[in-house]
Amino acid sequence: MPYSPIRGFDGAILQGVTPTALLGITDWEGTITIDVTVDGPFLNDNGKKYKTRGGIDIKGKAKGKVPSGKDTNQTAVINALINDTDLNLVLRQGDSGAPADLAYTITIPTAVISSAKLGQDSKNGATIEFDFEGNGSFTVS
């Protein structure tokens, strides 16, 4: 299948039981890692190392601008941090309105919002950044 690019703005980060897209987001990223336990090298084993896969985890962040009057879904992310509550987060690559343009979608049903940064810049306006982590299961589809 030949390569077909996805337009930069055809993606989203959504939150909530009925996932709703946050406004003003410029980018998101999620990093999936596993714990790797290393054994060895052992005597008389030619210096080999052996690795065992452990727990799997996901961490990520998103950045964007805060619109005038705030955005309900950005507020939900901040409230999840402040109120110690889990949040359903969906990170989507591509255009959900055009399935052929859809790429990977990460769904984190019980994400932990681990930090949020709000700012105001005289040139760029009001900004938001937040970090999130998985808490239990997540899917990549």
Partner 1 sequence: MSVTQITNATALIRDALALALSPLVGTYQGQPKAFWLVAPELVPLPLLVYQVQSPPQDTSFLNGAAVSSLFTVKALSSDTAPGDADTLLASVPAAIIGLAVSGYQVKVTFVRDVPPLQKDYVYTAGLVYQIDLYA
Query: DSSP class of residue 49?
Result: -
- For 40, the 3-state DSSP assignment is coil
Of the candidate spans 16-24, 33-41, 45-53, 80-88, the one that interacts with partner 1 by CB under 8 A turns out to be: 16-24
Q: Is 61 in the site for partner 1 (CB under 8 A)?
A: no
Minimal distance, residue 44 CB to partner 1, in Å: 55
Residue count, binding to partner 1 (CB under 8 A): 22
**Nearest Cα residue to 108 out of 93, 87, 125:** 87
Minimal distance, residue 32 CB to partner 1, in Å: 20
According to CB under 8 A, which one of 21, 76, 78, 81 is a site residue for partner 1?
21
Please report where in the chains the tokens 């005597």 appear, as a residue: 43
Q: Is 131 in the site for partner 1 (CB under 8 A)?
A: no
Please report where in the chains the tokens 């709703």 appear, as a residue: 20
**Nearest Cα residue to 94 out of 86, 104, 85:** 104
Question: Is the Cβ–Cβ distance between 82 and 65 less than 8 Å?
Answer: no
According to CB under 8 A, which one of 61, 76, 96, 135 is a site residue for partner 1?
96
The distance from CA 55 to its chain's CA centroid, rounded to whole angstroms, is: 18
Residue closer to partner 1 by CB (options 68, 141) is 68
Q: For residues 49 and 55, what is the distance between their CA atoms, to the nearest angstrom? A: 19
Residue closer to partner 1 by CB (options 46, 124) is 124
Binding site for partner 1 (CB under 8 A): 7-13, 21, 23-28, 64-65, 67-68, 95-98
